[in-house]
Every structure is written in C-alpha cells, then in structure tokens.
Structure 1
C-alpha cells in the first residue's frame, strides 16, 4: 500500500496545492495524511474529491486569515478497510 504523508505548513498558496496535486497524481497513493493544512473542512473536502478520494476525515484549522493554524486531513481509497478508532476534538486554545 502506498501512503503519502506531508506536513503542508499551509495549503492556502495555489503553488503548494499544485505541487501536492502533482505528487498525488504521479504517485497514486491509497492513503494521504496532511498536517498543518491551515484549511477549513469544506476546503479540505474540495481537495479530497479533486484527487479522487471517496473516504476521509478532516479537522478544521483554528483562526482566520493569516492567523490560521493546524488542520488535518486523512483521505483513503474506497476499497480500503480503514476505521477511525477514536477521535477527540478539544476547543482549548481556540
């Protein structure tokens, strides 16, 4: 199984999105995990569908504008049997 994991340090820059899109297209991973996306869930969902993933989990970044931080995304292909065992969201520091 091919997995791609990337600490994005922000995907608000179109150049970063193009680079990541190219990598996903060339490597064709079955699982993609993105950290520090600095994106909200609808923005992450757009990328999930753009890259052909049908399953995933997205966590909002915190903050607005240039003050955004955090954000996670986990995408996987439908044929995989992936189960999220637990998920705890905390609003501390928000």
Structure 2
C-alpha cells in the first residue's frame, strides 16, 4: 500500500480512477499521462521494471510466485505480456497493464 501512496503522490490519479483500474479492471478514456506515469512508478517500485523501462523478468517471477496466482497464469503474464511491451517499448507499463492485466 505504501508504494501505491508514494506513486500517487508523484503521479496523482483520483481514487475513482485507482479503484476502477485495480478493483473493477476498467480504464477511463482518455487515459491521462499521470495514469501512465503512475503505472510505471508501480512497476519500478515493485522492482519489476528498470529505470530504462525494461521488464526485470526474474523479479516479476519472484513477486508473482508469492501471490495466489497459479503457475500457468504467472507464466502467461511473464511471457505473453512482457513480450507485448517489446513491440510498444515507448510505453510498456500502460500497454502491458491495459492488454494483459485488464483482460486476464
């Protein structure tokens, strides 16, 4: 929770937007730059992404293994979703979130 608060302090988004994205798996259009920066901040602070925007696969695997996700779901997220970011490298955080997390 502290990471979410820290990221919201630097890239502020409304509680409504946060709840829509993280709980209801929905995104308001148009997507603000603050929302994209907020997601990048989350990935970076969870150590899933380095400062240049590349995903850190080992850290992702370690973090997801501690969750309640099945191994198959973890493998899907890491292989499919992070490969997606290679095609749209200029904004991987948002696009990975939008196409993978929201459709998972």
Normalised to the residue count of structure 1, the TM-score between the two structures is 0.27
Kindly indicate whether structure 1 or structure 2 has the higher relative contact order, using CA contacts under 8 Å at least 6 residues apart: 1
Greater strand share, 1 or 2?
Answer: 1
Greater helix share, 1 or 2?
Answer: 2
